[in-house]
């Protein structure tokens, strides 16, 4: 996606949040353009001073990019249970990041350890699942967890599993790539 389209998506996300927090009446239909009609998995991440402030996404392509940016911008601001709702005072400090996802592909292997060794650090977003438990980390998480074993252990914890679960039990593992961009 070219930089002009990326900037339009970031602007759409900000307008959504301004509509919600400042009761603005920005017309969002101007962002509903053919390039944004593709169904894609997508995450919206909010940061304040380099720290996570909210992140919600969809792995599967159930909605257009346009619809996902609207819905997930609101969700990152108001439905991420790790944080209080975003406030109007915080919005000027927020840096918005959008991640467009490729379709997840299963990682093949006899054991979870073998599958984990096939993951490409710094490139792959990773989804793990075991029964009803699942979790994902975007590829950007490699920046804070660069060691493969630590990355997977923290992902297991996020899924509500023990950190060493992957070493002794079978996990379903899928990977995906992202195109991410953020406000300047």
Domain boundaries, the chain: 3-101, 105-177
* 3-101, CATH topology level: Glycoprotein, Type 4 Pilin (3.30.700)
Query: What pTM did the predictor assign?
Result: 0.90
Question: Does domain 105-177 correspond to CATH entry 3.30.1490.150?
Answer: yes
Q: How far apart are CA 142 and CA 34, in angstroms?
A: 33
Candidates 11, 156, 10, 13; CA nearest to 72 is: 13
Is 105-177 the same fold as 3-101?
A: no
Render the burial of 64-74: b for 16+ CB within 10 Å, e for the rest: bbbebbbbbbb
pLDDT in tens, the chain (184 residues): 999 999 999 999 999 999 999 999 999 999 999 999 999 999 999 999 999 999 999 998 889 999 999 999 999 999 999 999 999 999 999 999 999 999 999 999 999 999 999 999 999 999 999 999 999 999 999 999 999 999 999 999 999 999 999 999 999 999 999 999 999 8
Q: How far apart are CA 84 and CA 48, in angstroms?
A: 13
Q: How far apart are CA 148 and CA 143, in angstroms?
A: 11
């Amino acid at each position: 996606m070219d930089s002009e389209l990326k900037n339009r998506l970031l602007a759409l996300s900000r307008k959504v949040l301004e509509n919600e927090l400042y009761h603005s009446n920005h017309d969002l239909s101007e962002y509903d353009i053919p390039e944004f009609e593709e169904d894609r998995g997508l995450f919206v991440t909010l940061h304040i001073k380099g720290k996570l402030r909210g992140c919600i996404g969809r792995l599967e392509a159930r909605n257009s990019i346009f619809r996902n940016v609207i819905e997930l911008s609101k969700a990152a601001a108001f439905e991420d249970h790790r944080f209080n709702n975003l406030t109007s005072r915080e919005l000027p400090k927020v840096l918005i990041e959008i991640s467009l996802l490729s379709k997840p592909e299963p990682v093949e292997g006899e054991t979870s350890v073998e599958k984990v060794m096939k993951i490409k650090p710094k490139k792959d977003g990773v989804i793990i699942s075991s029964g009803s438990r699942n979790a994902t980390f975007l590829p950007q998480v490699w920046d804070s967890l660069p060691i493969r074993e630590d990355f997977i252990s923290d992902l297991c914890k996020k899924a509500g599993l023990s950190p060493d679960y992957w070493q002794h039990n079978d996990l379903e593992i899928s990977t995906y790539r992202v195109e991410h961009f953020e406000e300047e």
